[in-house]
Homo-oligomer: A and B are copies of this chain.
Amino acid sequence: MLEKSHKHITCSTCVGRKNSLLGSLCHDEIDHVNAHKACNYYKKHQSLFLEGSFPRGVFCINEGMVKIFQRGDEGKEQIIHIAKTGEMVGFRSMFSETPYRVAAETLEESNICFISKEDFLNMMDSNPVLRNGIIKELSRELSDRADFITNMAQKSVRERLAFTMIILLDIYEKEPINLSREDLANFVGTATETLIRLLKDFKEEGIIEVHTRKISVLNKEKLFAIAGK
């Protein structure tokens, strides 16, 4: 349970920041961000931004988890990414100066800071390390999305589920995976019913263990084998 009254998070001691894109900031810059940023406590299922709205800055996740998704024609969500502590969210559309094509929503209660577009762009102009970090990050994500597309196009739902669980293993680290069946289905790109049936298979094959909604992976190797490399 997060401290709901915690109104200010200090950048210099922020655990998330150290390994984040903002890890390269010098003291002065950190102080500046710290003074100008806004901190917010978000409840579960609260929206950071919606598709179609215009970016006014970037979000830094101090603590918590955020899903990035698109709504398809029939309103079904496709989850593109799940961001966690230390990640920054919402800067992609900001650079392209176009409305968000994805939406972002917390998956659990979270502490998230906000840095205005102006402040952030200024920092980028004056800090080559930050700038290069961003370019690197954008490139890395482009590669990931190419993989995502190829998987979607060529792999079965079972294979994609295995692949997705490997990604989630990385995100949840030691914790069991804690997503609704619907969100999981929307990440894999399948119907909720199909996903549930496949989870049952995995359970019967001893690959996972399920406690209500929480999923623990028992056999990572088998997941890799199913995901295909």
Of A7-15, A130-138, A200-208, the segment with at least 4 beta carbons within 8 Å of chain B is A130-138
Decide: A92 near B149, CB < 8 A? Known: A73-B229, A76-B154, A154-B74: no
Give Cα A140–Cα B74 distance, bound, in whole angstroms: 24
Q: Which residues of B contact A132 (CB under 8 A)?
A: 95
Distance (whole angstroms) from the CB of A167 to the closest CB of chain B: 13
Establish whether residues A139 and B138, one from each chain, have CB atoms under 8 Å apart when the complex forms: yes
Q: Which residues of B contact A70 (CB under 8 A)?
A: 146-147, 149-150
In the complex, the answer to whether A135 meets B138 with C-beta atoms within 8 Å is: yes
Say yes or no for A101: interface residue by CB 8 A criterion: yes
| Complexed CA–CA distance, A102 and B145 (Å) | 11
A94 cross-chain contacts in B, Cβ below 8 A = 139
> How many positions in chain A have a CB within 8 Å of any CB in the partner chain?
44
With CB as the reference atom, state the residue of chain B lying closest to A153: B189
Oligomer: number of copies: 2
Q: Mark A141-166, 1 if CB is under 8 A from B, else 0.
A: 11101111110111100000000000
Known: A96-B140, A135-B138. 10 other contacts (CB 8 A): A70-B147, A70-B150, A80-B150, A95-B139, A101-B147, A102-B146, A125-B128, A138-B139, A145-B146, A152-B152
Q: Which residues of A contact B (CB under 8 A)?
A: 70, 72-74, 76, 78, 80, 91-98, 101-102, 125, 128, 131-132, 134-136, 138-143, 145-150, 152-155, 189-190, 228-229
Top-4 shortest CB links A-B: A153-B189, A145-B145, A72-B154, A96-B139
